[in-house]
Every structure is written in structure tokens, then in C-alpha cells.
Amino acid sequence: MFIPLSAVSPYRSDHAAPGRTRRLVLTVLGPVFLLVVPLATIKLYTGRLPGHVHFAGWAVDTGYELTWRGVSSQSLFGLMVWFETALVIPFLYYWRLPRVQRGLVAFSFAFGLYVPVSGLLSISATGSASRPVWHVAVEAVALAVGFALGRVAAGPLPQPPEVTAAPPSHAPAMALGPRQRVLFTTSAWSVRTLLAATALAAATVSIVLWDDLEWQRVVLLAGMTVFVAAQARTRLQIDGSGVTLRVPWMPILSRTVPYALIRFAEARNEPPPYRGPAEAEAGAAGSGPPPGRYRLGDGTNGWGAVSGKGPVLALSLADDRWFVYSTREAREAAALVNGWLHRRRQAGTA
């Protein structure tokens, strides 16, 4: 037996609202630096430069006027608009996910600082001048500093209210004594993730062997390969601190769900479906809502690790989403989580 999905609809509340306007403004601000910094620098030294200079491969007219027409006619303006679109659209798509929005702010600041620094280092009259090796180190520092500044500027993430109600009576629960400690661990591999990483690795090798690209693109593709491959193996641990999903090969992706943010746990034969307004209408018309999609990163449905078909542990969270994990011991894991919840919340009301 499951609680109706309408009872935990993600449209019931908006826990992501605090700080969202700030994060949106900061996301928009990063690409502006791509245009303002190089054009302002070139304007300061316009008397010492030729009519056209190459800024990181982009030809810039040094005689532009400080007007809308003059600035918008520059090729860098198109680059700024492209980055704005590439950042704002995902921000709007993940309107309710502050963790993703903070990542977009950091990405915006990183490239907003990296591109001007890289361009100013490579500025030339022909675009073919060789660059010293130390430029690479400076660019790497600019990228790291921009990312860190973005994370700090985005501010802390809003937290959903803590759950105080005990799990529903139908949810399986393990009876735990006042001092009893129980630990549950399991692990899983994702074949789909391994296949995706293999495809990326093959693409990286082929580019290195048969294509002449800048080192930045090769490093970016290789980094994506490592990032995806690192997510192929995950571990789940349930103990007194909460439910922890560990990524052994990339600890930065590991996260713990504290019991204060869990409503209840249950075992399902497949991941919980997503039920927004459109899906609710489809369900009323006789077709059920589509299965939810869950990854290590935040999503509208929730997050977690689903390795394929089979039972999953599903946690209903305080932010109206789900945490899911594929495991054959889903029922035992759900009973243990609910056992911890019962003991903690009964003790809190005693």
C-alpha cells in the first residue's frame, strides 16, 4: 500500500524560493563579464592598438562606440548572448532546485572570469601569436577562483522544514530498542553509466588521435569521462545519522539525508512516478503518470541511484521529492529507516 502521490505533490510548496532571485541575478551576471571586461580594457588602450585585435579567437573592432549599436555589433556580444541562454534556460528549468542553481552561479562566475583572463592573455593583432606556457596556469587559477567566488556569492541553500510526524501505519517498520544501534550497507553498479563513460572515453581517444583541437576541449571531454565513470558504483549506508549515498570514486557527490528531512520510507517495485499537474490530468483520464527519473544530481522528481529494473528503497522527503536507491533488500532498508524515524519522533514527543 502506498500513500497517494497527490499527498506529496512537488507543487504543494516552494521550498526553493528563499534566495532564488539572488541566484538568478548572479547567474545572469557572469556572462556579462565576457563582454564588459575585454571591451572596457580595449577601450582604455584603443589608441595603442590596431583597428582590429583578436581576443581569444574573437576579432574585436577597437574603434567601437560606447552605444548599444556599437557594443551589440561586436562578435563578443554574440558570445555573451549564447552563454546567457545556456545558463538561464537551465536555471528556469530547475526553478525549484536551489542546489542546481548554485552550481549554475558557480559555473557562470568561473567562465565569466576565465574567458576574459584567457582572452587578455592571448590578445594580438593577428590571432596567431604563440603563447607562453605560464598562461595555462593563470587560466586554471582564474577558473578555480571564479568557481569559488560563485559558490560563496550564491549563499547558503534554503532548507525545507523538518518533519516531526511519525511514518504512516502502513509503512514497514523495524522495532528498535532505546539503545539499539543497527547499521545497513549495500552497493550497486550501473551498467548504463559504465556504457556512457565508455562512449565518452572512445570519443576522447578519437579526438586526440584524429582531430586537432585546443587542449581545453580535450581536457573538458576527458573530465566528463572521468566524472561519468566515477558514478558507476555507489554505496548506501543507513545508520544513526541518516541515509547516506556514497560515491567511492568521487566523494564530492556523496550526500546524507538526515532523518529530520524524511517523512517515511517504503519499498517499491519501481521508482516512484512524477505527478505534476499535467500528469495528474493524464492519470485522471486513465493513463498513469510516467516513471520518475532519478540521478545522483538533483532533479524535479528527486535524486538517488537507480541501476535498472528491480526493487528500490524510496524515501519521501520534506521538500516534496523522493530519494531512491536500487537494492534487493529494499523492504529491509525501508523498515530500518522507519524504525529510526519512529524511535526519534516518539522520543521527541515524549
Residue 275 sits in a domain whose CATH number is 2.30.29.30
Give the per-residue pLDDT at 284: 38
- Is the pLDDT confidence value at 345 over 90? no
Give the per-residue pLDDT at 46: 61
CA-to-CA dists, residue 61 to 45, 65, 275, angstroms: 12, 10, 52
- Structural domain boundaries, residue 240: 163-189+231-349
**Number of domains the chain is built from:** 3
Q: Using 50, 70 and 90 to split pLDDT, how confident is the model at 165?
A: confident
Cα separation, 167 vs 143, in Å, equals 46
Is residue 12 domain-resident? Answer: no
Give the per-residue pLDDT at 301: 81
Please give the mean pLDDT across all residues of the chain.
79
Contacts of 95 (CB under 8 A, 6+ apart): 16, 20
- Is the pLDDT confidence value at 337 over 60? yes
Cα separation, 243 vs 302, in Å, equals 15
Q: Do 57 and 95 have their domain in common?
A: yes
Q: Do 34 and 167 have their domain in common?
A: no
Neighbours of 225 (CB within 10 A): 20
The pLDDT > 90 percentage for the chain reads 29
Query: Who has greater pLDDT, 58 or 230?
Result: 230
Q: What is the pLDDT of residues 88-128, one digit of tens each?
A: 998 988 887 788 899 999 999 998 888 888 777 766 544 45
Q: Using 50, 70 and 90 to split pLDDT, how confident is the model at 63?
A: low
CB 305 within 8 A of CB 294: yes
Neighbours of 54 (CB within 10 A): 17
Give the per-residue pLDDT at 218: 78
Q: Do 199 and 245 have their domain in common?
A: no
Query: DSSP string covering 272-285, please?
Result: PPP--HHHHHHHHT
Q: What is the pLDDT of residues 269-322, one digit of tens each?
A: 888 876 543 443 343 344 445 566 788 877 778 889 988 778 999 999 988 889
Give the per-residue pLDDT at 21: 93
